[in-house]
């Protein structure tokens, strides 16, 4: 702790900052070291993860190859063979990719064996594809196509000659051929041979010429030979398929071992990575906790040293403030830091304060005597000033009353002038409104007249409609009579006039409905005529009333003009009176301002006298306070030497 006190506080704080930077730097180094420890294990784990993914993809591609193989063997479609080749190429590429990550000898050996098995499997499948192409992928290609060409010529010759039994025997051979091709059963080959001998027997006993027999025999032998070639090819394909299955089994066995070895190595690499990672984390956290503990310990020691120095200074200042310590008490100085320097300067300050307190005590005694001599002049000056101020205040009060009375009169006159102007403005506005009302009423009378003319015109139109309806009724009655006559004539005509009678009835019904509708229209027109007559009467009354309203409004306008002229005269008189009163108020205000100036000057004189007396009292009180403070600060000797009479005089001084 004593060594820490030799350093400055700024150096201690800089040391704390440097310590935290050092912790950060050390932890960064430790972190990189732990990453280096786990990097090899992480790379090994990632490598085996890549190998594991490649193995999974290889297994998937192998199963896809098997699936494409089955599809080709079932359908004999070259599209599946082409997809198989693409799959094998992708499989070899993925296997090469996996081999590029492998470093284990056993795993490398298994991958090489898998590649050999895969190549063997691919070669055997390609051999099967070539044999299938040789035999024929359909009935038109390969040996199958040639087989069909050979037998079709014989069939044509036999069909042309009309040999039914030969045709039946040949069809039996074709049936045995098809059964073998679809079922791959050798019994159909034996049946084919037997049927061929039977065919030759029937051919020899047939009625065909020797030339035809010879030609059919040659074609049949060619057909049989090609069929046997197909049989041999199918046998070879079956053998290849068995070998292919063995290769597939061997390949899957190697693949399972390769997968098992890969999973074992991946699991070991993951375990190794976890162990190294746990070890690295343990090292990291142990170093971190150790460094943090050391840093906390150093920071606590530094803070304790600073707190102890500040606590000593705080106790000394509290003692001086509360009065429990004298200015002669000094702080202990320990170390060379800022707090020790502050303690040394504080001790020097106490020495200077002690000297200053002594000087303040002597000065306070001199001030107390001067204040006592000035105290006696206070009463006479104060009484004279108070009498002068009282007289001036009375004069100012009376002038204020007169001024307020004049101002009130001026305000009333001004208010009357304003009210007269407002009344004049209202009268002018009312006159203008009456003029507008007269104009609007005249327009209304004009519109009412136009409406009356329109209603009268409507009445004329309704009369014309009535005549039209009467005409329609006449036409409907004539139509009804014509329809009745037509019905009578149709009844006379008997059966031949029945259709005409129906039309006559419809026409008569229509004329009756027309008569009914025209009657309703006539009622409506009658009501309309009555309403229009009433509207005409109302319009006439409204027009007469609007004329009367115009006359009344004109009379009101004349009355408002008379009122406006009278109000304007009153406003002029009020304005003149307000100006006169304003001039009187201005003069009264000037007098009042002069009196107020005298009063203010007198008051300032009184205040100055009061301030002078107050300053003398303040000086005396300040001297007493200086004596008290010097006593509290420890200058008891100076307080004891002070004369008793001066102390009593200073205590009796009054303050304003």
End-to-end CA distance of the chain: 60
Which residue, among 560, 558, 540, 543, has the nearest Cα to 441 in the 3D structure? 543
Residue with tokens 């009463």: 379
- CA-to-CA separations, 171 to 152, 180, 197, 223, in angstroms, rounded: 11, 14, 14, 13
Q: Give the model's pLDDT for residue 343.
A: 66
Residue 286 has pLDDT above 80, yes or no: yes
Segments of the chain assigned to CATH 1.10.287.950: 393-603
pTM to 2 decimals?
Answer: 0.39
9, two tokens: 């506080």
Q: How far apart are CA 203 and CA 214, in angstroms?
A: 10
Q: Give the model's pLDDT for residue 439.
A: 77
DSSP state, residue 654: -
Q: How far apart are CA 364 and CA 619, in angstroms?
A: 9
302-360 residue pLDDT tens: 777 777 767 767 777 776 666 665 656 666 666 666 666 666 676 677 667 667 766 66
Asked if residues 620 and 650 have their Cβ atoms less than 8 Å apart, the reply is yes
Segments of the chain assigned to CATH 1.20.120.1730: 9-138+235-291
260, two tokens: 């098992």
286 CB-contact burial (10 Å; exposed 0-12 / middle 13-18 / buried 19+): exposed
- CA-to-CA separations, 141 to 75, 136, 224, in angstroms, rounded: 14, 5, 17
Sign of CA dihedral 465, 471, 472, 474: positive
The answer to whether domain 393-603 has CATH 4.10.910.10 is no
Span 69-79, average pLDDT:
85
Q: How far apart are CA 65 and CA 55, in angstroms?
A: 15
Span 251-257, average pLDDT:
87
Confidence label for 650 from pLDDT (cuts 50, 70 and 90): very low
81-127 residue pLDDT tens: 899 999 989 988 888 888 887 777 888 888 888 888 888 988 988 98
Residue 634 has pLDDT above 60, yes or no: no
Give a three-class secondary structure readout of 483-519. Answer: HHHHHHHHHHHHHHHHHHHHHHHHHHHHHHHHHHHHH
Ranges 88-97, 613-622, 631-640, most confident: 88-97
Q: Which CATH class is domain 9-138+235-291?
A: mainly alpha
Collapsing DSSP to helix, strand or coil, 140 comes out as: coil
Asked if residues 217 and 199 have their Cβ atoms less than 8 Å apart, the reply is no
Residue with tokens 């597939």: 248
Span 248-267, average pLDDT:
84
Span 567-591, average pLDDT:
66
Q: Give the model's pLDDT for residue 83.
A: 92
């Amino acid at each position: 702790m004593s060594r820490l006190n030799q350093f400055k506080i700024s150096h201690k704080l800089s040391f704390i900052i440097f310590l935290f930077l050092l912790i950060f730097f050390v932890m960064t180094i430790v972190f990189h070291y732990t990453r280096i420890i786990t990097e090899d294990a992480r790379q090994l784990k990632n490598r085996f993860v890549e190998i594991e993914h490649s193995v999974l993809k290889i297994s998937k591609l192998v199963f896809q190859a098997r699936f494409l193989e089955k599809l080709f063997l079932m359908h004999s479609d070259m599209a599946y063979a082409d997809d198989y080749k693409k799959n094998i190429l992708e499989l070899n590429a993925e296997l090469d990719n996996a081999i590029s990550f492998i470093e284990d000898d056993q795993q490398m050996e298994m991958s090489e064996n898998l590649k050999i098995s895969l190549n063997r499997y691919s070669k055997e499948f390609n051999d099967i594809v070539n044999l299938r192409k040789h035999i024929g992928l359909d009935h038109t290609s390969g040996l199958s196509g040639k087989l069909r060409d050979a037998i079709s010529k014989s069939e044509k010759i036999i069909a042309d000659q009309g040999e039914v039994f030969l045709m039946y025997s040949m069809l039996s051979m074709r049936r045995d051929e098809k059964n073998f091709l679809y079922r791959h059963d050798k019994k159909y080959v034996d049946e084919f041979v037997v049927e061929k001998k039977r065919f030759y027997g029937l051919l020899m006993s047939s009625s065909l010429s020797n030339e035809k027999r010879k030609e059919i025999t040659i074609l049949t032998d060619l057909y049989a030979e090609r069929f046997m070639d197909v049989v041999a090819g199918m046998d070879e394909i079956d053998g290849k398929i068995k070998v292919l299955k063995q290769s597939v089994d061997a390949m899957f066995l190697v693949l399972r071992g390769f997968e098992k070895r890969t999973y074992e190595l991946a699991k070991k690499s993951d375990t190794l990575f976890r162990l190294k990672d746990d070890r690295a984390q343990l090292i990291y956290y142990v170093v971190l906790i150790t460094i943090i503990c050391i840093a906390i310990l150093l920071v606590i020691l530094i803070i304790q040293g600073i707190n102890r120095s500040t606590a000593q200074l705080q106790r000394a200042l509290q003692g001086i403030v509360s009065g429990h310590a004298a200015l002669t008490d000094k702080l202990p100085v320990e170390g060379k830091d800022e707090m020790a320097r502050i303690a040394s300067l504080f001790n020097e300050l106490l020495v200077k304060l002690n000297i200053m307190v002594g000087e303040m005590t002597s000065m306070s005694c001199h001030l107390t005597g001067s204040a006592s001599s000035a105290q006696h002049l206070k009463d006479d000056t104060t009484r004279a000033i108070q009498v002068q101020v009282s007289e001036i205040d009375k004069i100012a009060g009376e002038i204020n009353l007169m001024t307020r009375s004049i101002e009130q009169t001026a305000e009333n006159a001004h208010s009357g002038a304003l009210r007269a102007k407002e009344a004049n403005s209202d009268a002018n506005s009312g006159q203008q409104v009456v003029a507008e009302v007269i104009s609007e009423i005249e327009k209304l009378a004009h519109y009412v007249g136009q409406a009356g003319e329109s209603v009268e015109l409507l009445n004329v139109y309704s009369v014309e409609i009535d005549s039209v309806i009467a005409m329609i009724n006449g036409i409907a009655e004539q139509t009804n009579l014509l329809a009745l006559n037509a019905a009578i004539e149709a009844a006379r005509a008997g059966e031949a006039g029945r259709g005409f009678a129906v039309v006559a009835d419809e026409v008569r019904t229509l004329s009756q409905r027309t008569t009914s509708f025209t009657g309703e229209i006539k009622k409506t027109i009658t009501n309309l005529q009555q309403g229009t007559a009433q509207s005409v009467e109302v319009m006439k009354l409204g027009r007469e009333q609007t004329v009367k309203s115009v006359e009344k409004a004109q009379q009101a306008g004349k009355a408002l003009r008379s009122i406006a002229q009278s109000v304007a005269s009153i406003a002029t008189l009020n304005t003149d009176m307000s100006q006169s009163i304003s001039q009187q108020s201005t003069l009264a205000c000037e007098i009042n301002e002069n009196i107020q100036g005298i009063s203010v000057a007198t008051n300032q004189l009184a205040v100055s006298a009061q301030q002078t007396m107050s300053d003398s009292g303040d000086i005396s009180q300040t001297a007493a306070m200086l004596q008290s403070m010097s006593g509290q600060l420890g200058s008891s000797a100076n307080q004891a030497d002070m004369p008793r009479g001066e102390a009593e005089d200073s205590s009796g001084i009054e303050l304003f």
